[in-house]
Amino acid sequence: MTDDTPAAPACGATPAHSEELLREVAALPSLPGVYRYFDVHDQLLYVGKAISLKKRVSSYFQKNHGGTRTGHMVSKIVRMETTVVRSEAEALLLENNLIKTKNPKYNILFRDDKSYPYLKMTGVPVATKRSASAAVGQAGATGQGPASPLAANFARVSYYRGGVEKKHHYFGPYPSAWAVKEAILLMQKVFRLRTCEDPVFSNRSRPCLLYQIKRCSAPCVGHISDQDYAQDVANAEKFLRGDTKEVMRQLESRMMAHSDKLEFEQAAELRNQVAALSTVLHQQAMDNVEDRDVDILAVKVQGGKACVNLAMVRGGRHLGDRPYFPVHVEDAVGLADEAAGDAPSASVEAQVLEAFLSQHYIDVAMPPTLILSEPVDKGLLKALSEQVGFKVSAVHQPREQRRAWLDMAQTNAALQLARLLAEEGSQQARTRALAEALDLTLDNLETLRVECFDISHTAGEATQASCVVFHQHKMQNAEYRRFNIEGITPGDDYAAMRQVLTRRYSKVAEALREAKHAGQAPAGTGRLPDLVLVDGGKGQVSMAREVFEHLGLDLSLIVGVEKGEGRKVGLEELVFADGREKVYLGADSAALMLVAQIRDEAHRFAITGMRAQRAKVRVGGGKLEEIPGVGPKRRAKLLQRFGGVRGVALASVDDIATVDGVSKELAEEIYRALH
């Protein structure tokens, strides 16, 4: 039965909550579920799970939390949402899906701007799917390579990041791009698999340099039969999956078979392959054939910050590690302790580790074994097992090789956290120096927001403007913006600056007027930054002043970064739009270092966008099929003939017209579109 009587706030409870909200709390069922709290601006504050929604949520509103973090958060709640689920495990998974997608302010958040890279094998032939014995039986049966090799018959290894497709084979994930490139180099050294793109492969008439240095078997010109190449691909796949002993046994068996037949050249090739593989296995001192796929996780907490270091073992080989730094650790841990009530709460390290496990493996493949520096709740492991469809086991106090892995992960976590704290301390000092140098009145340096603009183009072509954001002592990549500048005289940087500032701040000015009329403080995108940097001197600052005067915004926010004598770094001067004299902060100034860092990031972001836009303009973005009359078939023929879009762009009209299915008129149209 559910008690529909409104819950009366206990002595000391926050009285600011509406009767409607308290009635909702009192009417909650005693069932497992997930709850979400929102503030007056409808911003998500916190997401939590509960075995009993009624008991857990009521505890927030019926206890006296005083001046704790929980009390501060509860005082902001004006609305809540709840979702009833069937079990605690279901509640756990839903909770962390919402945390990862909604980024609530008072939860531990693990944000990662990159997906994991993979090693990709494209065009894996059917031969690799046959049994090893069948493939070995056919190996060497054909001494001559195919008369006209097709790229589809010879698998290619490459670096890949993104969604996986069933038609290709993927190995990983790897913790870093470096780890993938090392694996590709290994595939070249030991198995001599090709890495060239299909158009290049199809248009080779002689072996490339990789063949000369024994990093490729040159299937492009028939130096290896498709059966032998397929066998190398099969062995490479087995090696990547951890079947190293089986690969060695097969190679040695094939070598002896060739030797018995007096085929000494083929036997020598296999001998070299065995030697290369033996060297690799000897160098891989961290190999452990018993542990094929394992993740090792160590957590370190210090100074209100935390680091989770994830080391990965795939196919029995240690691939390296990757650090993660959660945000809102102190707030979230305080709330978790309050929610636990009288029950013994887990350590801060365990709470951080559980948050990582819950969020990280939502969209990342999970291995069956985890080696952890802290014990975690068994209910979490049960929920993760249900999510992935197989039993996930966790080892807290490992031995032997696993112990060595965990010790290394713990050492790396401590080192990465120490580096972060040192960098943040330095960055906070720079923020403080900038605020003092420009007389910015701020109650909290964390709130200082700087937006910087830069213009980039090549002789007026593909003009782009960038806006980068500095906030909370660091660059906020997710808030960067690029603006395509159109309708101006090519090369007119002043007009470009006028356009980008108008587009960026016209809506902000309107929001400020509406907020002032309503008697409210602006929020979200309606808030002006504390500082607007423009890369340029008096001219650009004058243009920015005109825009701000037209929009009715505060001129004191605008600061130009003028290059010094000889455009030397460290000699920059700051130019103000409100009439103040120019300021030279000094080459050793921490404030100038921060300004230069932000300015350089705006320049980098602008120039990379400009180059991408320029390439798109010059070669149609690689999309030949957008040209009228060029469909997928004609595009494929053009790419195959000229080895890529750039090759098509470099070809003459007469050359393009020689491609089957391309008339002279269409060739002229293609040439015009690409030039």
Q: What is the pLDDT of residues 348-369, one digit of tens each?
A: 888 899 889 988 887 788 889 9
Helix/strand/coil percentages in the chain, nearest 5: 50, 15, 35
Match 């020689």 to its residue by tokens. 658
Q: What is the pLDDT of residues 10-44, one digit of tens each?
A: 444 444 688 888 888 989 999 999 999 998 888 89
pLDDT at res. 67: 64
Residues 445-615: name the CATH superfamily. Answer: UvrC, RNAse H endonuclease domain (3.30.420.340)
- Which stretch of DSSP H or E encloses residue 47? strand 44-50
- Which stretch of DSSP H or E encloses residue 297? strand 294-302
CATH number of the domain at 294-417, out of 3.30.70, 3.40.50, 3.20.20, 3.30.420? 3.30.420
Architecture, CATH, for domain 19-89: 3-Layer(aba) Sandwich (3.40)
Q: Do domains 294-417 and 445-615 have the same CATH topology?
A: yes
pLDDT at res. 127: 45
DSSP 327: B
Q: C-alpha distances in angstroms, 77 versus 60, 111, 373, 478?
A: 10, 25, 36, 27
What is the Cα–Cα distance from 613 to 636, expressed in whole angstroms? 24
Q: What is the pLDDT of residues 303-326, one digit of tens each?
A: 778 899 999 888 777 888 889 888
Q: In 48-72, which positions are buried (b, 16+ CB within 10 angstroms) versus exposed (e)?
A: bbbeebbebbbbbbbbebeeebbbb
pLDDT at res. 620: 45
pLDDT at res. 334: 58
Class of CATH domain 623-674: mainly alpha
Domain boundaries, given as residue ranges, for the chain: 19-89, 117-283, 294-417, 445-615, 623-674
What is the Cα–Cα distance from 28 to 136, expressed in whole angstroms? 67
348: how many CB neighbours lie within 10 A of its CB? 19
Task: Indicate whether this model's pTM tops 0.85.
Answer: no
Q: What is the pLDDT of residues 150-209, one digit of tens each?
A: 777 888 998 888 777 777 888 878 888 888 888 888 888 888 889 988 888 888 888 888
* Ranges under pLDDT 50 in the chain: 1-15, 126-148, 282-288, 342, 344, 617-622
Peptide bond before residue 173 is cis, with ω within 30 degrees of 0: yes
Q: What is the pLDDT of residues 490-549, one digit of tens each?
A: 888 899 999 999 999 998 888 888 877 776 655 555 578 999 999 888 889 999 999 999
